[in-house]
Amino acid sequence: MDQQILSSRSIMGMYFARLELNPGMAWVNGLSNFFQSDQAGETYAFLGQSPQFREWIGGRQGKGLASSSFAITNKHYEATLEVSKRDVRRDKTGQIMARVEEFADKSVTHWASMLSTLLLNGDSTVCYDGQYYFDTDHSEGSSGTQSNKISVTIAGLPAAVHGSTTAPSVEEFQQCMLKGIAAILGFKDNQGEPMNENARDFVVKVPVGLYLTATAAVSTLATAALAQNLNPNLIAGLNVQVVMNPRLTWTNKFSVHRTDSPIKGLIRQSEQDVELKVKAEGSEFEFDNDAWQFGLDSWRNVGYGYWQRSCQVIMA
């Protein structure tokens, strides 16, 4: 592109072209449901589970639905890129294009940023049942007390090689990961019935420091699990994917998530998709500042869905 005749329309074209090339992070859809909003906020009702079949003895026994709810209020977000006309005129190296492409990428990764914050705050922020999202004492109806925040003492695990809580061995990480998966598979609903018995796909979210170990753990999962005399039926047919998230500041923690359920563990809510607004050629802003502004604008928010789709594992 001839930078000598770069216009605001050309910059907008760069932005939308970049959006077409960047589909966003795949894990976002796996961990969260997307809901469109048409008002200031939305209330999500969690009605519990439908009753199971029972032998017909003494007539029908109707069971109502439990009632819990969680409200998510939309928030206004913006990002504004300012480009001086001087830089537009003098740019010979494509620096403006690079900045515009980064600008587009930021709009795509905003959901990932918000969901990452939810995960980081999950052990100190309540979800629909009034407990912290990652907590040790969830309970609904006939579920009994359940924990999606488990601690594993790695020194006590059967492993040929031992590491530390922040640098576990591959064998130790494998077993911690399987304990997280097993916890999710064992969660019960308010009727006392399994919630995830048909789960097959899982994502393991790790910080940068645990990524290499986690990747090695998944690549040799079956062999190592059988060697440690773990239940082979636990991993048969499961698809486990490791996703590194540089936004996670954990050092001795990671989280496991079920991704093949129609109801996810997190919620994305959008009242207004990202809009691009421009103050450029002929505007008062250009006259007063000899510059152009490109603004992104959106109304959205995130929140917690089913805690039963996630488990935080702490290596102690």
Classify residue 131: in a domain, yes or no: no
Q: Are residues 168 and 310 in the same domain?
A: yes
Q: Are residues 251 and 176 in the same domain?
A: yes
CA distance 225 to 305: 31
Q: Are residues 69 and 17 in the same domain?
A: yes
Classify residue 227: in a domain, yes or no: yes
Instruction: Using 70 as the pLDDT threshold, list the residues of the chain that sit under it.
Output: 1-5, 22-23, 46-52, 54, 61-67, 92-93, 220-236
Q: Are residues 181 and 311 in the same domain?
A: yes
Nearest CA among 241, 221, 313, 311 for reference residue 25: 241
Q: Are residues 153 and 223 in the same domain?
A: yes
- Beta strands (DSSP E) in the chain are 32-36, 41-46, 68-73, 75-84, 149-152, 201-206, 239-244, 253-258, 266-279, 291-304, 310-315
| pLDDT for res 285 | 93
| pLDDT for res 222 | 46
Q: Are residues 103 and 183 in the same domain?
A: no
| pLDDT for res 47 | 47
| pLDDT for res 307 | 96
| pLDDT for res 235 | 63
Classify residue 128: in a domain, yes or no: no
| pLDDT for res 106 | 85
Question: What's the CATH code of the domain at 155?
Answer: 3.30.2320
Q: Are residues 85 and 74 in the same domain?
A: yes
Classify residue 139: in a domain, yes or no: no
Classify residue 276: in a domain, yes or no: yes
| pLDDT for res 221 | 56
CA distance 113 to 135: 22
Domain count for the chain, please give it.
Answer: 2
| pLDDT for res 70 | 82
| pLDDT for res 1 | 40
- Over residues 231-274, the pLDDT tens digits come to 444 566 789 999 999 999 999 999 999 999 999 999 999 999 98
Q: Is residue 187 within 8 Å of residue 308, measured between CB atoms? A: yes
Domain that holds residue 155: 149-265+306-315
Nearest CA among 178, 259, 254, 161 for reference residue 218: 178
